[in-house]
Structure 1
Amino acid sequence: MSKGGRTFFGHPWGLATLFSTEMWERFSWYGLRAILATFMAASPAHKGLGMSQETAQAVVGVYGALIYLVALPGGWIADRILGARRSVFWGGFVIMLGHISMAIPVTTSFFVWLGLLLIISGTGLLKPNISVMVGRLYNEDEDGRRDAGFSLFYLGINLGAFFAPLVVGWLAAGDRWHLGFSAAAVGMALGLLQYVWGGRNLRGIGERPGIRLTPPERRRFGRLAGLGAAVTAAALGVWAATGTLTIDRLALAITIVILIVPVAYFAYILVGSHSLTGEERGRMKAYIWLFVAASIFWMIYDLAPSKLLFFAADHTRLSLFGLPIQAATTQSFNPLFIMIFVPVFAALWVKLGVRVSTPQKFGFALVMVGLSFVVMALAASLATGGRVSVWWLVLVYLIQVFGELSLSPVGLSVTTKLAPEAFKGQMLGIWFIAVSVGDAVGGQTGRLSHYLSDPAYYLVLAIMAIVAGLALFLFTRKLRVLMAEHYHAAAMPPIR
């Protein structure tokens, strides 16, 4: 870092640019997420899409899953074609177009689906690469400053996530859905303006791809991308022609594809030689169990913008401290608690060091998210007699945040530690696929509502998470041997 010039809380001024850009991008993302499910489930008379709540839950789940899945190709495009800096700009631009598409106040759903597709594509370019640029603001020997810089960057994420549901939810009240979508578009536009205006402070970081594609490789990539798009379009066209294509079935098909991705990837790592040592193979076997545990966690945790949002809208008295709130406002509880408790948990992990192992932290996270749904089961039982206090959801989100702060930052750390040398650069993408799997499967759990009451639904998922958490506690010793775990987990906050 240069000694002179302006600083941002003691950090390179370029962090201010990336902080603001990410804050506004997260404002747009969490703002849309706070009203998307209720918009889809609202009847046409209320200017919604008229879906069942189960279908809306499946769509929101797949939407969230694809957001994390496309981070892999988005990172590759930056590394080989555009460079991180241009990837962030074009990603933000495409995201903005997506929100503008959704803001068009027409009755057809075409612009909604187009908007979601654009937002998914743009986020794949922006999300992984802006984090890369934050890391490159620091010299290689500035680990402590880099961690502190990421903590500030993470604050920007949660500021955007906190304010977005408040603003977008208020604007969208009274069936003004497209006005809410417009606020998300304005947020991304402000982020882009900040990014371009502050670009000179980035000191050339990310301007060129790491290993640019050669002309033959570029032509081959173009042919493969075109072929893939054509095959996908043809398959969807044939499916539509049969008259059996529905939103529910498409969401299920995408979920199956998402589930296949990690299975194929782990098989590729373990079956091939790749010059893996015996210790590396052992670590990967342990990591698979942690991956499954994380997927179960996110399956429940990321039901916030669908199942829990519907509960807020349909079964709670929407009032806090005597003030009326919107259902979307409940989506601000989570980032508020995260900002409060991140410093506490970061200090806790440093103090505990290796005395509490990664499997134990994951086990605690699963028990916490399971207990949160035990609370939901109680709230849902009480709600059969009328609306309940919104403070039930406050308690649920508080418990869940204790789980997230025990799993998300630790998961990032353990992924880098357990990755085989041959796959170091790819494994963080695999960690985010755990979120993708969890979101997709969580969306499909809405189908259980056809067979279970709401209290039973929450209780089944709670038992699944708690049993998985207890299993991790039970097999902690064996997993630690496989992991050769003798290090301090990083205290950096999670980045989502």
Structure 2
Amino acid sequence: MSDFNKQKIVDSVPQTGFFGHPKGLFTLFFTEFWERFSYYGMRAILVFYMYYEVSKGGLGLDESLAFSIMSIYGSLVYMSGIIGGWLADRVLGTSKAVFYGGILIMFGHIVLAIPGSLATFFISMVLIVLGTGLLKPNVSSVVGEIYSMEDNRRDAGFSIFYMGINLGAFISPLITGEVAKTSFHLGFGIAAVGMFVGLLVFMLTKKKNLGLAGTIVANPLSPTERKKVFTTFGIALVLIAILVAITIPAGLLTFESFIALVGILGIGIPTAYFITMYRSPKTTAEERSRLIAYIPLFIAAVMFWAIQEQGSTILASYADKRTQLEFAGFSISPAWFQSLNPLFIIVLAPVFAWFWMKLGKRQPTIPQKFSIGLLFAGLSFLVILLPAYFGGTDSLVNPLWLVLSYFIVVLGELCLSPVGLSATTKLAPAAFSAQTMSLWFLSNAAAQAINAQLVKFYSPATEMVYFGMIGGASIVLSIILFIFAPKIQGFMKGVR
């Protein structure tokens, strides 16, 4: 997208009206609020639904397999953002991508809400994966479009947007976690309603609040390219269908082989994207330098999300089986712990936004913020190994240990995640704006693809080693990143 079009979009958006920010932030804030309400409400009970016995309303899968499926599902959700970003950049524009994505997510949750078989479960997962891939990276890209590159409100705006994400993520597990005691499917139905409300908010307010934001296709396909691309897509889909039809009966495509395949894709796809964007003739010399700076940030993000995303797998099981949930006759749902992360972000996000604004040019650089984020992530895992060290792995743990672990990782998340969103919009090559945002979310995909292998090593017997090794690796990477932060900053060519 040209600088002229970028400025044209900014000029079309009312620049005040939502806490001193562009009016379009209202639309994007509440669209993402309801989408995240939907997604995290479902995710808070999904792993329990998989490994709980059929007699308790679950699918009765092995617990280790449920962890791996959960990680692979999370990886594919973010991996599909590549397709969503490409479609937005070259065919649909980000606004239409957000709308169509919301439709697919809503239907995915509706399928989950209807009692069915394991096959029905996987159909719902496919719908949600594709829908989130269309919506998630593109709604964040639109946030970047409503601010000019020189606007000092930009980082603070992303922090406010991030608070909206977490407000939805905080409320939904409290509701679905309680409802799931009666029926998992009713909880999934509530998630479907949340996505429907988000679609209504987007459609009713976008024209007035967003102006041209999301409507301009950054790098549209020519008629010749369009025919070639869609022919290729069609052939690819047919070949995939044939391969699936052959490999499943032959016993070649199993859960284990599919998990391994996603692990390869989780690392291979972002690598291919970096190379493609770097070598593209549409990428300028200055943009290439910024891409080089983006690589260590991406690696740091993978390490961070590998820890943070285990909140829905290992720590969810820890809450369910290792934590004291009964107090004076009152029973806590293990799904409620999924609300801790967003709760702390809601409380602390405004503080961090104010703090960065207050520091102005004296605030830490982007690489330094990332290194601080990694440090806190590592500490959050070291904290959770202490109960086993002091009391063994047989007794139930005081829930405050889990609360402390979630609190520490949130401190790291607020140093890394909203800063990473903002940095991505600044460092992205102009011809790959939405796709670079998809690349940012691929850091989460890579992390969860790695997690699908890591979670197999967790058990109460290996608890201390598991948390200690992963937490220690994060702290070591934090120190390395901090040492090289000035060098990385130099490659950013003036971006702070």
Q: Does 1:263 align with 2:274?
A: no
Is the 2:373–2:415 Cα contact (8 Å) retained in structure 1? yes
Instruction: Report the equivalent of 2:414.
Output: 405
Return the alpha-carbon distance in structure 1 between the equivalents of residues 275 and 461 of structure 2: 35
The number of residues matched between the two structures is 483
Is the 1:17–1:201 Cα contact (8 Å) retained in structure 2? no
Match of 1:394 among 389, 403, 427: 403
Return the alpha-carbon distance in structure 2 between the equivalents of residues 208 and 355 of structure 1: 34
Q: Does 1:182 align with 2:193?
A: no
Instruction: Report the equivalent of 1:99.
Output: 109
User: Which residue identity lines up with residue 68 of structure 1 in the other structure?
Assistant: Y
- Range 462-471 or range 12-21, more displaced: 12-21
Match of 1:310 among 313, 317, 338: 317
SS in 2 for 1:192: helix
Deviation at 1:434, TM superposition (A): 1.2
Q: What pairs with 1:79-478 in structure 2 (closer than 5 Å)?
A: 79-106=89-116, 108-137=117-146, 140=148, 143-144=151-152, 149-174=157-182, 176-202=183-209, 205=212, 206-207=214-215, 209-210=217-218, 212-268=220-276, 277=285, 283-318=290-325, 324-350=331-357, 351=359, 353=361, 356-381=364-389, 382=391, 384-419=393-428, 426-449=435-458, 453-478=462-487
Return the alpha-carbon distance in structure 2 between the equivalents of residues 5 and 425 of structure 1: 22
User: Which residue identity lines up with residue 188 of structure 1 in the other structure?
Assistant: M
Return the alpha-carbon distance in structure 2 between the equivalents of residues 212 and 470 of structure 1: 42
Q: Does 1:63 align with 2:67?
A: no
Q: Deviations over 1:266-287 (max 9, x none)?
A: 344557787764x766654443
TM-score, normalised on structure 1? 0.87
User: Which residue identity lines up with residue 184 of structure 1 in the other structure?
Assistant: A
**In 2 relative to 1, CA 312–10 (structure 1 residues): closer, same or farther, beyond 3 Å?**
same
Deviation at 1:346, TM superposition (A): 2.7
Q: Deviations over 1:403-436 (max 9, x none)?
A: 1111123323444555567756643332221121
Is the 1:92–1:192 Cα contact (8 Å) retained in structure 2? yes
Match of 2:36 among 26, 47, 50: 26
Return the alpha-carbon distance in structure 2 between the equivalents of residues 472 and 142 of structure 1: 27
User: Which residue identity lines up with residue 93 of structure 2 in the other structure?
Assistant: G
Instruction: Report the equivalent of 2:5.
Output: none
**In 2 relative to 1, CA 431–195 (structure 1 residues): closer, same or farther, beyond 3 Å?**
closer
Is the 2:101–2:133 Cα contact (8 Å) retained in structure 1? yes
Question: 5+ residue gaps in structure 2?
Answer: 1-10
Instruction: Report the equivalent of 2:3.
Output: none
- Range 257-266 or range 97-106, more displaced: 257-266
**In 2 relative to 1, CA 56–151 (structure 1 residues): closer, same or farther, beyond 3 Å?**
same
SS in 1 for 2:458: helix
User: Which residue identity lines up with residue 256 of structure 2 in the other structure?
Assistant: D
**In 2 relative to 1, CA 125–320 (structure 1 residues): closer, same or farther, beyond 3 Å?**
farther
What is the alpha-carbon root mean square deviation over aligned residues? 3.1
Return the alpha-carbon distance in structure 2 between the equivalents of residues 452 and 263 of structure 1: 36
Return the alpha-carbon distance in structure 1 between the equivalents of residues 105 and 155 of structure 2: 28
Return the alpha-carbon distance in structure 2 between the equivalents of residues 67 and 156 of structure 1: 20
Is the 1:57–1:444 Cα contact (8 Å) retained in structure 2? no
- Range 143-152 or range 464-473, more displaced: 143-152
Deviation at 1:265, TM superposition (A): 2.7
Q: What pairs with 1:9-24 in structure 2 (closer than 5 Å)?
A: 9=19, 14-24=24-34
**In 2 relative to 1, CA 369–146 (structure 1 residues): closer, same or farther, beyond 3 Å?**
closer
**In 2 relative to 1, CA 141–219 (structure 1 residues): closer, same or farther, beyond 3 Å?**
closer
**In 2 relative to 1, CA 451–305 (structure 1 residues): closer, same or farther, beyond 3 Å?**
closer
Q: Deviations over 1:330-367 (max 9, x none)?
A: 01101111111122223333417456343332222222
Return the alpha-carbon distance in structure 2 between the equivalents of residues 299 and 240 of structure 1: 30
Q: Does 1:36 align with 2:46?
A: yes
Return the alpha-carbon distance in structure 2 between the equivalents of residues 358 and 185 of structure 1: 37
**In 2 relative to 1, CA 6–259 (structure 1 residues): closer, same or farther, beyond 3 Å?**
closer
Return the alpha-carbon distance in structure 1 between the equivalents of residues 339 and 149 of structure 2: 37
**In 2 relative to 1, CA 21–478 (structure 1 residues): closer, same or farther, beyond 3 Å?**
closer
Return the alpha-carbon distance in structure 2 between the equivalents of residues 225 and 267 of structure 1: 22
SS in 2 for 1:303: helix
**In 2 relative to 1, CA 95–467 (structure 1 residues): closer, same or farther, beyond 3 Å?**
same
Q: Using the aligned pairs only, state the percent identity.
A: 42
Is the 2:424–2:436 Cα contact (8 Å) retained in structure 1? yes
SS in 2 for 1:468: helix
**In 2 relative to 1, CA 149–201 (structure 1 residues): closer, same or farther, beyond 3 Å?**
farther
Return the alpha-carbon distance in structure 1 between the equivalents of residues 55 and 252 of structure 2: 27
Deviation at 1:230, TM superposition (A): 1.5
Deviation at 1:448, TM superposition (A): 1.7
Instruction: Report the equivalent of 1:493.
Output: none
User: Which residue identity lines up with residue 309 of structure 2 in the other structure?
Assistant: D
Question: 5+ residue gaps in structure 1?
Answer: 490-496
Instruction: Report the equivalent of 2:6.
Output: none
Return the alpha-carbon distance in structure 2 between the equivalents of residues 262 and 43 of structure 1: 37
**In 2 relative to 1, CA 3–454 (structure 1 residues): closer, same or farther, beyond 3 Å?**
closer
